[in-house]
Amino acid sequence: MNKILNMDCIDYMHSLPDESIDFVLTSPPYDTMRLYKRKVTWNFDKFKEVANQLVRCIKPGSTIVWVVGDETIDHNETGTSFRQALYFKELGLNLYDTMIFEKVNPLPGFKPSLYRQCFEYIFVLCKGKMRVFNPILVDTTTKMTTYRKANKWSMENGRTTSGERKRPTPAQRFHNNIFRYNVGGVKVDHPATFPIQLAKDMIYTYTEVGMTVYDPFAGSGTTNIAAYELERDCIGTDVVEEYATMANKRLAVIMNQQLIPFDKETITCDVDKVPNGQRELHTCCLYEPNEALELV
Ligand SMILES: C[S@@+](CC[C@H](N)C(=O)[O-])C[C@H]1O[C@@H](n2cnc3c(N)ncnc32)[C@H](O)[C@@H]1O
C-alpha cells in the first residue's frame, strides 16, 4: 500500500479479486499525443482491456474519475474521449457526470481556425448508485428564496456514507462542474501531470478517509500524493520504470513529512493569480463539510 508499482496496470488488475477497489482516479495516455519514453503501447483495444478490468475490480457504488482529452489529427479530433466514456457505459457503468477541467493558463499558441484549446474532460463513472459524494461548496450571493428547490434536491441526494443528510446553507451552493486550475510549474520529468488540486478535489468528493485510491496510470504520482495527504491509502501502477521510481520518491518525501491537519479555510483568489497547480477559488470552503453545511 502507498506505493507505485512498475508494471502494466492490466497485469496488476488481473491479480485483484472482483469488486475490491474503492475508487479510481486516473488519466490515461491521450491517443498518441505523448511517447512516454517510447515504452508504452496505447490504442483502443488496450483501453478496452483496461476498462474491462477496472469495471470488474471496482466495488458496487464506487466511482472512476477518468481525466482525458483528444488528439487532433489532420484538423480532426479523434473523439476517443467520448468513445471511452461510451464504452464504460456499454460495460454497465453510469456516466454520472461529464465535467470540464479548464486550464486557467493554457499553452499559448495559434492554430488557424481554432480557438485556444483550454480544457480536458473529467468523466465521472459509477458502478450502480454512487456511495460517496462529498460536494465542494462555494459561497453564493443568491437569496434563500431562489434556493428552496436546490435545497430539496440536495437533501435527497446529499447523503454521506455516515448517514448524515446535508444541504448547502442559503449562502452556499455546490461547485459548478467546470473546475478551473492553473497548470504547469511542477518540476518533474513527466510530460503530462495533472494538477495536485484536481486530484485532491476528486478524491475528497468521491471517497472517505481510510478508503483506498487506485491510479492505474500513475505517472509522476500526483494521485498518490494527493490521496496520502487526504489520509486515504493509495496504490498506483506505471509501466515506465523511470516514472514509477520518480513517483515513489515523491511519495516518500510526502510520507516522511508530518501531515498538517486540514483547517476550515476560506480563500478568496484572484482569477489571474491562481498559484501553480491550484484550483481557481472564488470564496470557497475547503474540506470541512461538517462545519460548512447545515445538518438537516
Ligand atoms: C497521462 S499520464 C498520467 C500522469 C499522471 N496523472 C500525473 O499526474 O503524473 C499516463 C501515464 O500512463 C502510463 N501508462 C501507459 N500505459 C500504461 C499501462 N498499460 N500500465 C501502466 N501505466 C501505463 C504512462 O507511462 C504515463 O506515465
Q: Parallel, antiparallel, or unpaired: how do β-strands 119-126 and 94-103 relate? A: antiparallel
pLDDT at residue 40, rounded to an integer: 85
**Whose alpha carbon is nearest atom 26 of ligand 1?**
219
pLDDT tens track, the chain, 296 positions: 899 999 999 999 999 999 999 999 999 999 988 889 878 899 999 999 999 999 999 999 999 999 999 999 999 999 999 999 999 999 999 999 999 999 999 988 788 888 999 999 999 999 999 999 999 999 887 554 434 444 444 434 444 444 555 555 667 889 999 999 999 888 898 889 999 999 999 999 999 999 999 999 999 999 999 999 999 999 999 999 999 999 999 999 999 875 555 444 433 334 444 555 556 543 344 443 333 232 22
Q: Is 12 in the pocket of ligand 1 (CB under 6 A)?
A: no
**Ligand 1 pocket mutation pick from 238, 245, 251 by most atoms within 8 angstroms of CB:** 238
| Closest atom of ligand 1 to CA, residue 41 | 16
Indicate whether residue 250 lines ligand 1 (CB < 6 A): no
Report the nearest-CA residue for atom 22 of ligand 1. Answer: 238
CA distance 154 to 164: 12
Q: What is the 48 CA–ligand 1 centroid distance (Å)? A: 16
The pLDDT of residue 149 is: 43
Task: State the architecture of 3-133+176-264 in CATH terms.
Answer: 3-Layer(aba) Sandwich (3.40)
Least Cα distance to 4 among 236, 219, 226 occurs for 236
Residue 186 has a pLDDT of: 85
> Is 101:119 a contact under the CB 8 Å cutoff?
yes
Is the C-beta atom of 6 inside 6 A of ligand 1? no
Annotated domain spans of the chain: 3-133+176-264
Nearest CA to ligand 1 atom 15: 40
Site to probe by mutation for ligand 1, drawn from 14, 40, 250 as the one with most ligand atoms within 8 Å of Cβ, is 40
pLDDT of residue 39: 85
Nearest-angstrom CA–CA distance, 212 and 232 = 6
| Reported pTM | 0.83
Ligand 1 contact, 81 CB (< 6 A): no
